[in-house]
């Protein structure tokens, strides 16, 4: 997660010159192969990393694609045989009644998470831009939930959302907002809402940090000039902050999307995708198919679908950072 | 802003923080409350009758998982730095051939959904008889941190003037020697940041832990908690105590290495 902060922050930082890491060589190409005969001779230092990429990214990806065409079941692990079955796994997943439900859930979970993480994150970023006593300390303490293992914070939420003794229901009942406890995690109608809520909580610090960085990059004299021209706070936000924040916004939303698609820990701890698949997303569905139902071929199909979506948005992300750089340089 | 408004803003900030950190407070609170107060219909806002029973239970049943996590996380730091330091040096200082492509591959690699990796790594680990082996977990967890570590070290090492390396080369130092005795000491802070986050990523991993360990005693702490909730649904006191204990290393790192954490988060402001 953090690595992307590098780029995201790189995009808006008007004052600080940062080159996105994605394109390091081009500009100083003249140095390559220069003094000391570097270039190929230096390849030895990056060779382990290449081997690593091959063994731990390319091979698993290729393996996943291959498995999606094989009848890979629990017996395959004993016999070592997994016959090729063409597109049959794809058909099976397509016909699985849980599949359509899962796609709809994934879209709702992703859109809901992004919308609220971004909205609240932006509001907090704007808030913490003011100078006030303890501002810096409070802002860095907000990051604490982000650094804890998601299983831990998910467990805390599970206790909060417990139907009978959870504090959420108890507080709502005491405030007379509800008459009887809501089964946040045990009801098919609210479980998706509940996991989305927790995921929004998880994502707010990330959004806030990056958007705060973006806000810092907007020159203060623009606001001063606008204030002199009589622009109110809302107008300044609408006509200065939002347009100048657009490159960072693109980065935050694409990264957020890629991470939301991957969300696994939160849902597993809270609901395991249940009850009755009501909070199942593509990621937990892939886990369920492979590691619970032990139909690894089916799990691989869903995994491939996730790869396609992730790669598409990865390119969107890389383009967004490049655009951001162009704008910052201009 | 008037002094009053500034303090009012601070008060609002404290309120926001209280709301955001409430789940963590609630975890600590529950870890200290006796079971009788946990099942009441009224929430017990403060652990007035604090008990350490939860921690005793948690330590006896989850202590092994904590050690496993510690071992695996430290192993992940070692593997990550072993791959990432030479790679970043080759990319940033030596401008190794194929470097641009490698950076691009790593950027894409961090976006691959973990569940896809887990699916394939499980099959590979099974074939190599590495299920339940800490080694498998170390290698799998390192996939979470290697791209980040290479990218952050690369960003830093690019800021070290090449003249430094060239001067060493003129003095007859080999490339490896230059890395070890000049570049590495200069990059100390970036190395610590990369190592720190490798540790945090591995410590927090759940997906690889739950897929690559079938025997309970080999599971890391995240999986320990997960299975603990399944088995002791009603014993929230012990479950929450386990959660607090699993947060301790993170809290310690936050306090001890605060500036490196900040450096990792604002890595983008590394100046050119």
Average pLDDT, chain A: 82
| A45 to B114: CB separation less than 8 angstroms, yes or no | no
For B45, name the nearest residue in chain A, comparing CA atoms only.
A167
In contact, A208 and A124? CB cutoff 8 Å: yes
| B119 to A144: CB separation less than 8 angstroms, yes or no | no
Using an 8 Å CB-CB cutoff, list chain A residues near B267.
Answer: 2, 5-6, 9
Q: Are residues B67 and B31 in the same domain?
A: no
| A63 to B87: CB separation less than 8 angstroms, yes or no | no
Burial annotation A218-240 (CB, 10 A radius, 16+ → b, else e) = beeeebeeeeeeebeeeebeeeb
In contact, B92 and B158? CB cutoff 8 Å: yes
Residue A139 has pLDDT above 90, yes or no: no
Distance from CA of B41 to the nearest CA of A (A): 6
Residue A42, chain B, CB below 8 Å: the answer is yes
For A133, name the nearest residue in chain B, comparing CA atoms only.
B10
Percentage of chain A modeled with pLDDT above 70: 85
| A21 to B107: CB separation less than 8 angstroms, yes or no | yes
| A160 to B26: CB separation less than 8 angstroms, yes or no | yes
For B6, name the nearest residue in chain A, comparing CA atoms only.
A132
Q: Are residues B69 and B46 in the same domain?
A: no
| A160 to B103: CB separation less than 8 angstroms, yes or no | no
Mind listing the pLDDT tens digit for each residue in A160-210?
Answer: 998 888 889 989 988 889 888 899 998 999 999 999 999 999 999 989 988
For B136, name the nearest residue in chain A, comparing CA atoms only.
A56
Split at pLDDT 50, 70, 90, the class of A24 is: very low
Q: Are residues B219 and B88 in the same domain?
A: yes
Token pair of A201 as six digits: 């909580």
Residue B132 CA, distance from chain mean position:
21
CA-nearest of B115, B61, B241, B19 to A309 is B115
Fold of A46-329: MetI-like fold (1.10.3720)
For A154, name the nearest residue in chain B, comparing CA atoms only.
B23
Report the distance separating Cα B45 and Cα A82, nearest Å: 56
DSSP letter for B50, please.
Answer: -
pLDDT of residue A13: 31
Q: Are residues B31 and B84 in the same domain?
A: no
Report the distance separating Cα B61 and Cα B235, nearest Å: 13
**Helix %, strand %, coil % for chain B, to 5?**
80, 0, 20
pLDDT of residue A265: 93
Residue A155 has pLDDT above 90, yes or no: yes
Higher pLDDT, B232 or A83: A83
Q: Are residues B194 and B121 in the same domain?
A: yes
Residue A75, chain B, CB below 8 Å: the answer is no
Percentage of chain A modeled with pLDDT above 90: 37
Residue A35, chain B, CB below 8 Å: the answer is yes
Report the distance separating Cα A148 and Cα B189, nearest Å: 22
Q: Are residues B46 and B68 in the same domain?
A: no
Q: Are residues B62 and B187 in the same domain?
A: yes
SS3 (DSSP) at A84: strand
Interface of A with B in 45-74 (CB under 8 A): 45-46, 48-50, 52-53, 56-57, 59-61, 63-64, 67, 72
pLDDT of residue B43: 80
CB-nearest to A303 from B21, B113, B225 is: B113
CA Rg value for chain A: 24
The residue ranges of every structural domain in chain A are: 46-329
Split at pLDDT 50, 70, 90, the class of A323 is: low
Residue A321 has pLDDT above 90, yes or no: no
Interface of A with B in 122-181 (CB under 8 A): 124, 127-128, 130-135, 138, 140-145, 147-153, 155-160, 162, 164-165, 167, 170-171
Residue A20 has pLDDT above 60, yes or no: no
Q: Are residues B135 and B232 in the same domain?
A: yes
Q: Are residues B92 and B203 in the same domain?
A: yes
Tell me the count of A-B CB pairs closer than 8 A.
346
DSSP letter for B33, please.
Answer: S
CB-nearest to B222 from A147, A151, A159 is: A151
CB-nearest to A45 from B94, B103, B266 is: B94
Query: Which residue bears the tokens 């995690």?
Result: A185
Q: Which domain, by its residues, includes B3?
A: 1-51
Q: Following CA atoms B141, B142, B146, B147 in sequence, which dihedral angle do they give, to the nearest 10 degrees? A: -30
Report the distance separating Cα A294 and Cα A160, nearest Å: 32
Mind listing the pLDDT tens digit for each residue in B23-71?
Answer: 999 999 988 988 777 777 778 788 877 888 888 888 888 889 999 999 9
Token pair of A43 as six digits: 């390849």
Tell me the average pLDDT across A15-29. Answer: 37
Residue A9 has pLDDT above 50, yes or no: no
pLDDT of residue B266: 56
Q: Are residues B85 and B28 in the same domain?
A: no
pLDDT of residue B256: 81
Mind listing the pLDDT tens digit for each residue in A84-116?
Answer: 888 989 999 899 989 999 999 999 999 999 999
- Range with the poorest average pLDDT among A74-78, A128-132, A308-312, B113-117: A74-78
Residue A22 has pLDDT above 90, yes or no: no
Tell me the mean pLDDT per 10 residues along chain B, length 272.
83 92 92 81 79 86 91 96 93 84 87 88 89 93 92 87 82 84 86 91 94 88 89 80 91 80 54 27
pLDDT of residue A65: 92
For A128, name the nearest residue in chain B, comparing CA atoms only.
B13
pLDDT of residue A254: 85
CB-nearest to A134 from B10, B96, B262 is: B10
Report the distance separating Cα B241 and Cα A64, nearest Å: 38
- Cis upstream peptide for A275 (omega within 30°): yes
What is the domain count for chain B?
A: 2
Distance from CA of B229 to the nearest CA of A (A): 8
Mind listing the pLDDT tens digit for each residue in A287-317?
Answer: 999 999 988 999 999 999 998 988 888 788 7
Q: Are residues B31 and B112 in the same domain?
A: no
Q: Are residues B165 and B99 in the same domain?
A: yes
Using an 8 Å CB-CB cutoff, list chain A residues near B246.
Answer: 149, 151-152
pLDDT of residue A28: 41
Roughly how many angstroms between the first and final C-alpha of chain A, as a whole number?
28
């Amino acid at each position: 997660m953090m690595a992307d902060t590098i780029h995201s922050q790189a995009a808006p930082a008007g004052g600080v010159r940062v080159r996105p890491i994605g394109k390091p060589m081009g500009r100083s190409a003249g140095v390559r192969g220069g003094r000391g005969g570097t270039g190929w001779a230096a390849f030895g230092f990056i060779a382990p990393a290449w081997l690593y990429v091959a063994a731990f990214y390319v091979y698993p990806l290729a393996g996943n694609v291959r498995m999606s065409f094989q009848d890979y079941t629990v017996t395959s692990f004993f016999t070592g045989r997994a016959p090729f079955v063409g597109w049959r796994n794809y058909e099976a997943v397509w016909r699985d009644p849980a599949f359509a439900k899962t796609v709809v859930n994934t879209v709702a979970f992703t859109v809901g998470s992004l919308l609220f993480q971004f909205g609240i994150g932006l509001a907090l970023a704007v808030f913490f831009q003011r100078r006030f006593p303890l501002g810096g300390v409070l802002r860095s303490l907000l990051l604490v939930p982000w650094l804890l293992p998601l299983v831990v914070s998910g467990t805390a939420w599970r206790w909060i959302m417990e139907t009978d003794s959870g504090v959420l229901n108890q507080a709502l009942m005491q405030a007379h907002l509800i008459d009887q406890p809501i089964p946040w995690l045990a009801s098919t109608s609210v479980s998706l809402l509940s996991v989305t809520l927790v995921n929004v909580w998880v994502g707010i610090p990330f959004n806030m940090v990056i958007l705060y960085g973006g806000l810092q990059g907007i020159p203060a004299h623009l606001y001063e000039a606008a204030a002199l021209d009589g622009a109110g706070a809302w107008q300044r936000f609408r006509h200065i902050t939002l347009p100048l924040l657009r490159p960072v916004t693109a980065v935050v939303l694409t990264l957020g999307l890629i991470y939301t698609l991957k969300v696994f820990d939160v849902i597993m701890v809270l609901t395991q995708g249940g009850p009755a698949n009501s909070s199942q997303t593509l990621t937990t569905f892939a886990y369920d198919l492979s590691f619970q139902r032990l139909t690894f071929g089916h799990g691989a199909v869903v995994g491939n679908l996730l790869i396609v979506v992730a790669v598409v948005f990865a390119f969107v992300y890389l383009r967004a950072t490049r655009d951001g750089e162009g704008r910052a340089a201009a | 802003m008037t002094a009053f408004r500034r303090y009012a803003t601070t008060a609002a900030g404290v309120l926001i923080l209280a709301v955001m950190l409430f789940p963590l407070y609630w975890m600590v609170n529950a870890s200290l409350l006796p079971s009788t107060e946990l099942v009441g219909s009224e929430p017990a806002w403060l652990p007035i009758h604090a008990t350490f029973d939860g921690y005793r239970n948690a330590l006896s049943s989850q202590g092994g998982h904590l050690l496993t996590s510690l071992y695996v996380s430290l192993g992940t730091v070692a593997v990550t730095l072993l791959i990432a330091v030479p790679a970043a040096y080759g990319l940033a200082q030596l401008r190794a051939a194929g470097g641009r492509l490698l950076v691009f591959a790593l950027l894409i690699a961090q976006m691959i959904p973990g569940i896809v990796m887990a699916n394939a790594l499980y099959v590979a680990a099974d074939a190599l008889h590495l299920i339940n082996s800490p080694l498998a977990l170390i290698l799998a967890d390192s996939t979470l941190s290697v791209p980040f570590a290479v990218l952050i070290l690369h960003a830093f090492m690019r800021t070290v003037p090449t003249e430094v390396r060239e001067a060493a080369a003129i003095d007859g130092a080999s490339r490896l020697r230059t890395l070890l005795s000049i570049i590495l000491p200069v990059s100390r802070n970036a190395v610590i940041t990369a190592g720190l986050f490798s540790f945090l990523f591995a410590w927090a991993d759940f997906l690889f832990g739950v897929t690559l360990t079938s025997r309970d005693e080999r599971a890391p702490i995240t999986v320990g908690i997960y299975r603990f909730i399944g088995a002791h649904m009603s014993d929230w006191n012990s479950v929450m105590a386990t959660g607090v204990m699993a947060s301790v290393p993170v809290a310690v790192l936050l306090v001890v290495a605060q500036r490196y954490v900040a450096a990792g988060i604002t890595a983008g402001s590394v100046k050119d």
